[in-house]
Amino acid sequence: MPEDLKVGVFICECGGNISDTVDIQKVKDSLNVEVVEQFVNLCSLNGRKIIRDAIFDHHLDRVVIAACSPISHEKTFQDYVQPLNPYLMDMANIREQCSWVHNDKDGATKKAITLINASIEKVKKSDAVNPIYCQTPNEVAVIGGGIAGMNAALSLAKQGTKVTIIESSPSIGGHMAKIGKVFSPVKIAEECGMCLLNPILNEVVWNENIEIITNAKVIESERRAGTYNLIVEKSPRYVDTEKCIACGKCAEVCEVEVPDDWNDGLSK
Protein backbone atom coordinates (compact mmCIF):
# COMPACT_ATOMS: atom_id res chain seq x y z
CA MET A 1 0.00 0.00 0.00
CA PRO A 2 1.57 3.37 -1.03
CA GLU A 3 2.26 5.72 1.87
CA ASP A 4 1.96 8.95 -0.13
CA LEU A 5 -1.71 8.60 -1.03
CA LYS A 6 -3.51 11.87 -1.71
CA VAL A 7 -6.74 12.07 0.24
CA GLY A 8 -9.45 14.68 -0.23
CA VAL A 9 -12.05 15.46 2.43
CA PHE A 10 -15.35 17.09 1.46
CA ILE A 11 -17.53 18.43 4.25
CA CYS A 12 -21.24 19.05 3.77
CA GLU A 13 -22.98 21.84 5.71
CA CYS A 14 -26.31 20.11 4.97
CA GLY A 15 -28.12 23.43 4.81
CA GLY A 16 -27.23 24.17 8.43
CA ASN A 17 -28.11 20.71 9.77
CA ILE A 18 -24.38 20.11 10.31
CA SER A 19 -22.79 23.56 10.27
CA ASP A 20 -25.12 24.95 12.97
CA THR A 21 -23.72 22.47 15.49
CA VAL A 22 -20.30 21.44 14.17
CA ASP A 23 -17.54 24.04 13.79
CA ILE A 24 -16.62 23.33 10.16
CA GLN A 25 -13.61 25.65 10.13
CA LYS A 26 -12.13 23.98 13.20
CA VAL A 27 -12.63 20.60 11.55
CA LYS A 28 -10.88 21.78 8.37
CA ASP A 29 -7.92 23.21 10.31
CA SER A 30 -7.38 19.92 12.15
CA LEU A 31 -7.15 17.66 9.08
CA ASN A 32 -3.84 16.70 7.48
CA VAL A 33 -4.85 15.77 3.94
CA GLU A 34 -4.23 16.94 0.38
CA VAL A 35 -7.39 19.02 0.08
CA VAL A 36 -10.38 19.96 2.26
CA GLU A 37 -13.53 21.50 0.77
CA GLN A 38 -16.92 22.42 2.20
CA PHE A 39 -20.23 23.11 0.52
CA VAL A 40 -23.75 23.88 1.65
CA ASN A 41 -25.20 20.76 -0.02
CA LEU A 42 -22.66 18.26 -1.34
CA CYS A 43 -25.31 15.92 -2.71
CA SER A 44 -26.36 18.59 -5.24
CA LEU A 45 -25.04 18.81 -8.81
CA ASN A 46 -22.81 21.72 -7.79
CA GLY A 47 -21.40 19.52 -5.03
CA ARG A 48 -20.61 16.84 -7.59
CA LYS A 49 -18.66 19.38 -9.65
CA ILE A 50 -16.61 20.41 -6.59
CA ILE A 51 -15.71 16.79 -5.84
CA ARG A 52 -14.82 15.86 -9.42
CA ASP A 53 -12.84 19.03 -10.08
CA ALA A 54 -10.79 18.42 -6.93
CA ILE A 55 -10.11 14.80 -7.92
CA PHE A 56 -8.68 15.93 -11.28
CA ASP A 57 -6.93 19.10 -10.08
CA HIS A 58 -5.21 17.52 -7.09
CA HIS A 59 -4.85 13.97 -8.51
CA LEU A 60 -6.62 12.49 -5.51
CA ASP A 61 -6.29 8.77 -4.76
CA ARG A 62 -8.95 8.57 -2.04
CA VAL A 63 -12.01 10.58 -1.00
CA VAL A 64 -13.80 11.05 2.31
CA ILE A 65 -17.28 12.57 2.40
CA ALA A 66 -18.22 14.07 5.79
CA ALA A 67 -21.97 14.41 5.58
CA CYS A 68 -25.06 12.40 6.45
CA SER A 69 -25.63 8.68 6.87
CA PRO A 70 -24.32 6.44 4.07
CA ILE A 71 -27.78 4.86 4.09
CA SER A 72 -29.09 8.10 2.60
CA HIS A 73 -26.49 9.07 0.00
CA GLU A 74 -23.65 6.56 -0.26
CA LYS A 75 -24.67 5.50 -3.79
CA THR A 76 -24.92 9.18 -4.81
CA PHE A 77 -21.37 9.96 -3.69
CA GLN A 78 -20.01 6.72 -5.15
CA ASP A 79 -21.20 8.06 -8.51
CA TYR A 80 -19.78 11.53 -7.78
CA VAL A 81 -16.20 10.28 -7.18
CA GLN A 82 -15.85 8.84 -10.68
CA PRO A 83 -13.39 8.20 -12.29
CA LEU A 84 -12.13 6.90 -8.92
CA ASN A 85 -13.30 3.44 -7.98
CA PRO A 86 -16.45 3.89 -5.83
CA TYR A 87 -14.94 1.77 -3.04
CA LEU A 88 -12.04 4.19 -2.60
CA MET A 89 -14.56 6.58 -1.02
CA ASP A 90 -15.85 6.50 2.55
CA MET A 91 -18.54 8.49 4.34
CA ALA A 92 -18.16 9.91 7.83
CA ASN A 93 -21.61 10.40 9.33
CA ILE A 94 -21.32 13.76 11.11
CA ARG A 95 -25.02 14.59 10.87
CA GLU A 96 -26.91 11.73 12.56
CA GLN A 97 -23.95 10.85 14.80
CA CYS A 98 -22.81 14.40 15.67
CA SER A 99 -24.95 17.44 14.93
CA TRP A 100 -28.34 15.77 15.42
CA VAL A 101 -27.49 14.14 18.75
CA HIS A 102 -25.32 16.79 20.46
CA ASN A 103 -26.12 20.22 21.84
CA ASP A 104 -22.51 20.83 22.86
CA LYS A 105 -20.79 22.40 19.85
CA ASP A 106 -17.26 21.65 21.11
CA GLY A 107 -18.15 18.04 21.84
CA ALA A 108 -19.86 17.59 18.46
CA THR A 109 -16.88 19.15 16.68
CA LYS A 110 -14.35 16.90 18.43
CA LYS A 111 -16.45 13.85 17.60
CA ALA A 112 -16.72 14.93 13.96
CA ILE A 113 -12.93 15.29 13.75
CA THR A 114 -12.49 11.80 15.20
CA LEU A 115 -14.96 10.24 12.78
CA ILE A 116 -13.42 11.96 9.77
CA ASN A 117 -9.88 10.92 10.76
CA ALA A 118 -11.12 7.35 11.17
CA SER A 119 -12.55 7.46 7.65
CA ILE A 120 -9.27 8.87 6.32
CA GLU A 121 -7.33 5.95 7.79
CA LYS A 122 -9.93 3.55 6.45
CA VAL A 123 -9.74 4.74 2.84
CA LYS A 124 -5.94 4.68 2.95
CA LYS A 125 -6.17 0.93 3.47
CA SER A 126 -9.03 0.38 1.04
CA ASP A 127 -8.63 -1.49 -2.22
CA ALA A 128 -10.51 -0.91 -5.45
CA VAL A 129 -13.33 -3.40 -5.82
CA ASN A 130 -14.96 -4.21 -9.14
CA PRO A 131 -18.44 -5.73 -9.37
CA ILE A 132 -18.76 -9.42 -10.19
CA TYR A 133 -21.45 -10.20 -12.73
CA CYS A 134 -23.10 -13.59 -12.64
CA GLN A 135 -26.15 -15.21 -14.17
CA THR A 136 -28.83 -15.89 -11.60
CA PRO A 137 -31.82 -18.20 -12.04
CA ASN A 138 -35.08 -16.46 -12.80
CA GLU A 139 -36.87 -17.97 -9.83
CA VAL A 140 -38.45 -16.37 -6.78
CA ALA A 141 -39.71 -17.68 -3.44
CA VAL A 142 -42.66 -15.89 -1.87
CA ILE A 143 -42.98 -16.51 1.86
CA GLY A 144 -46.63 -16.51 2.84
CA GLY A 145 -49.68 -17.37 0.75
CA GLY A 146 -52.05 -14.65 1.93
CA ILE A 147 -53.66 -12.08 -0.36
CA ALA A 148 -50.41 -10.08 -0.54
CA GLY A 149 -48.28 -13.14 -1.25
CA MET A 150 -50.65 -14.39 -3.94
CA ASN A 151 -50.75 -11.03 -5.72
CA ALA A 152 -46.95 -10.79 -5.60
CA ALA A 153 -46.64 -14.31 -7.00
CA LEU A 154 -49.10 -13.56 -9.80
CA SER A 155 -47.34 -10.34 -10.77
CA LEU A 156 -44.03 -12.18 -11.08
CA ALA A 157 -45.49 -15.25 -12.78
CA LYS A 158 -47.14 -13.13 -15.48
CA GLN A 159 -43.68 -11.77 -16.32
CA GLY A 160 -42.38 -15.31 -16.88
CA THR A 161 -40.75 -15.79 -13.49
CA LYS A 162 -40.97 -19.16 -11.78
CA VAL A 163 -42.47 -18.62 -8.31
CA THR A 164 -42.71 -20.92 -5.31
CA ILE A 165 -45.20 -19.92 -2.60
CA ILE A 166 -44.23 -21.26 0.82
CA GLU A 167 -47.17 -21.22 3.23
CA SER A 168 -47.11 -22.45 6.83
CA SER A 169 -50.86 -23.19 6.91
CA PRO A 170 -52.50 -26.19 5.23
CA SER A 171 -53.97 -23.89 2.53
CA ILE A 172 -53.33 -20.53 0.93
CA GLY A 173 -55.66 -17.55 1.35
CA GLY A 174 -54.48 -16.21 4.68
CA HIS A 175 -56.72 -14.14 6.94
CA MET A 176 -58.88 -12.95 4.07
CA ALA A 177 -60.25 -16.49 3.66
CA LYS A 178 -61.60 -16.28 7.23
CA ILE A 179 -63.37 -12.93 6.81
CA GLY A 180 -67.01 -12.85 5.78
CA LYS A 181 -67.05 -9.32 4.43
CA VAL A 182 -64.42 -6.73 3.53
CA PHE A 183 -64.70 -3.03 2.77
CA SER A 184 -64.03 -2.02 -0.83
CA PRO A 185 -62.57 1.52 -1.14
CA VAL A 186 -63.35 1.39 -4.86
CA LYS A 187 -67.08 0.76 -4.48
CA ILE A 188 -67.35 2.38 -1.02
CA ALA A 189 -69.27 -0.68 0.13
CA GLU A 190 -68.97 -4.05 1.84
CA GLU A 191 -68.18 -7.04 -0.32
CA CYS A 192 -67.90 -10.78 0.18
CA GLY A 193 -64.31 -11.62 1.15
CA MET A 194 -64.26 -15.02 -0.56
CA CYS A 195 -65.93 -13.54 -3.67
CA LEU A 196 -62.93 -11.25 -4.07
CA LEU A 197 -60.40 -13.89 -3.05
CA ASN A 198 -61.59 -16.82 -5.17
CA PRO A 199 -60.67 -15.42 -8.63
CA ILE A 200 -57.15 -14.63 -7.42
CA LEU A 201 -56.81 -17.99 -5.67
CA ASN A 202 -57.94 -19.88 -8.77
CA GLU A 203 -55.56 -17.91 -10.96
CA VAL A 204 -52.68 -18.75 -8.62
CA VAL A 205 -53.52 -22.46 -8.52
CA TRP A 206 -53.81 -22.79 -12.30
CA ASN A 207 -50.79 -20.68 -13.22
CA GLU A 208 -48.06 -22.93 -14.62
CA ASN A 209 -45.30 -20.66 -13.31
CA ILE A 210 -46.45 -20.98 -9.69
CA GLU A 211 -45.73 -23.88 -7.35
CA ILE A 212 -47.42 -23.97 -3.95
CA ILE A 213 -45.91 -25.65 -0.90
CA THR A 214 -48.26 -25.65 2.10
CA ASN A 215 -47.73 -26.87 5.68
CA ALA A 216 -44.15 -25.68 5.29
CA LYS A 217 -41.79 -23.10 6.73
CA VAL A 218 -38.34 -21.78 5.91
CA ILE A 219 -35.91 -22.90 8.61
CA GLU A 220 -32.71 -21.65 7.01
CA SER A 221 -31.67 -19.31 4.21
CA GLU A 222 -28.27 -18.60 2.71
CA ARG A 223 -27.33 -15.92 0.21
CA ARG A 224 -24.55 -16.71 -2.22
CA ALA A 225 -23.46 -14.85 -5.37
CA GLY A 226 -26.77 -13.13 -5.87
CA THR A 227 -28.93 -16.19 -5.21
CA TYR A 228 -30.66 -17.61 -2.14
CA ASN A 229 -30.63 -21.21 -1.02
CA LEU A 230 -33.60 -22.08 1.19
CA ILE A 231 -34.11 -25.09 3.43
CA VAL A 232 -37.83 -25.72 3.80
CA GLU A 233 -39.36 -27.99 6.43
CA LYS A 234 -42.66 -29.51 5.35
CA SER A 235 -44.99 -30.92 7.99
CA PRO A 236 -46.97 -34.12 7.31
CA ARG A 237 -50.67 -33.74 6.63
CA TYR A 238 -51.62 -37.03 8.31
CA VAL A 239 -50.32 -39.29 11.06
CA ASP A 240 -49.84 -42.14 8.60
CA THR A 241 -50.57 -41.50 4.94
CA GLU A 242 -51.27 -45.21 4.35
CA LYS A 243 -53.76 -45.69 7.20
CA CYS A 244 -55.28 -42.31 8.08
CA ILE A 245 -58.25 -41.26 5.96
CA ALA A 246 -59.03 -38.11 7.98
CA CYS A 247 -62.37 -39.53 9.20
CA GLY A 248 -62.14 -37.58 12.44
CA LYS A 249 -62.89 -40.52 14.81
CA CYS A 250 -59.62 -39.98 16.67
CA ALA A 251 -60.82 -36.52 17.66
CA GLU A 252 -63.92 -38.03 19.30
CA VAL A 253 -61.87 -39.98 21.85
CA CYS A 254 -59.06 -37.45 22.30
CA GLU A 255 -59.18 -35.69 25.68
CA VAL A 256 -56.77 -32.91 24.73
CA GLU A 257 -58.05 -29.58 23.44
CA VAL A 258 -55.77 -27.10 21.67
CA PRO A 259 -56.37 -23.56 20.40
CA ASP A 260 -58.01 -23.45 16.98
CA ASP A 261 -55.51 -21.95 14.53
CA TRP A 262 -58.25 -21.23 12.01
CA ASN A 263 -60.02 -19.04 14.56
CA ASP A 264 -56.76 -17.33 15.65
CA GLY A 265 -56.77 -19.25 18.92
CA LEU A 266 -60.09 -17.75 20.09
CA SER A 267 -61.74 -21.17 20.39
CA LYS A 268 -60.68 -24.76 21.09
| Measured distance CA(34)–CA(30) in Å, rounded | 13
Q: At what angle do helices 193-206 and 147-157 cross, to 10 degrees?
A: 40
Average pLDDT, the chain: 89
Q: Are 128 and 106 in contact (CB under 8 A)?
A: no
Closest to 88 in 3D by CA, of 118, 117, 119 = 119
With H, G, I as helix, E, B as strand and everything else as coil, classify residue 22: coil
What pLDDT, in 10s, does the model give residues 155-198? 999 988 999 999 998 889 888 887 778 777 766 777 787 788 88
**Are 182 and 193 in contact, with CB atoms under 8 Å apart?**
yes
Q: Tell whether pTM > 0.85.
A: no
pLDDT of residue 78: 93
Rg of the chain, C-alpha, whole Å = 29
Instruction: Kindly report each contact of residues 230-237 with a partner whose C-beta sits within 8 Å and lies 24 or more positions away, as own/partner.
Output: 230/141, 230/166, 232/166, 237/170
Strands 227-234 and 216-224: antiparallel
Give me the mean pLDDT over the 100-125 stretch. 94
Instruction: Assess whether the region 7-124 and the region 139-238 belong to the same CATH fold.
Output: no
Give how far the C-alpha of residue 217 lies from the chain's centroid of Cα atoms, to the nearest Å: 22
Q: Where are the domains of the chain?
A: 7-124, 139-238
Interatomic CA distance for residues 110 and 266, integer angstroms:
57
The DSSP result for 127-147, as a single string, is: -----------SEEEEE--SH
pLDDT in tens, 41-80: 999 999 999 999 999 999 999 999 999 999 989 999 999 9
Percent helix, strand and coil across the chain, each rounded to 5?
40, 25, 40
DSSP code string of 55-69? HHHHT-SEEEEEES-
Domain 139-238, CATH homologous superfamily name and number? FAD/NAD(P)-binding domain (3.50.50.60)
Whole-angstrom Cα distance, residue 36 to residue 29?
9
Residues 6+ apart with CB under 8 A from 96: 68, 69
Q: Which stretch of DSSP H or E encloses residue 199? A: helix 193-206
Residue 90 clears pLDDT 90, i.e. is over it: yes
In the three-class reduction of DSSP (H, G, I as helix; E, B as strand; rest coil), residue 210 is classed as strand
CATH class of this structure's domain 7-124: alpha beta
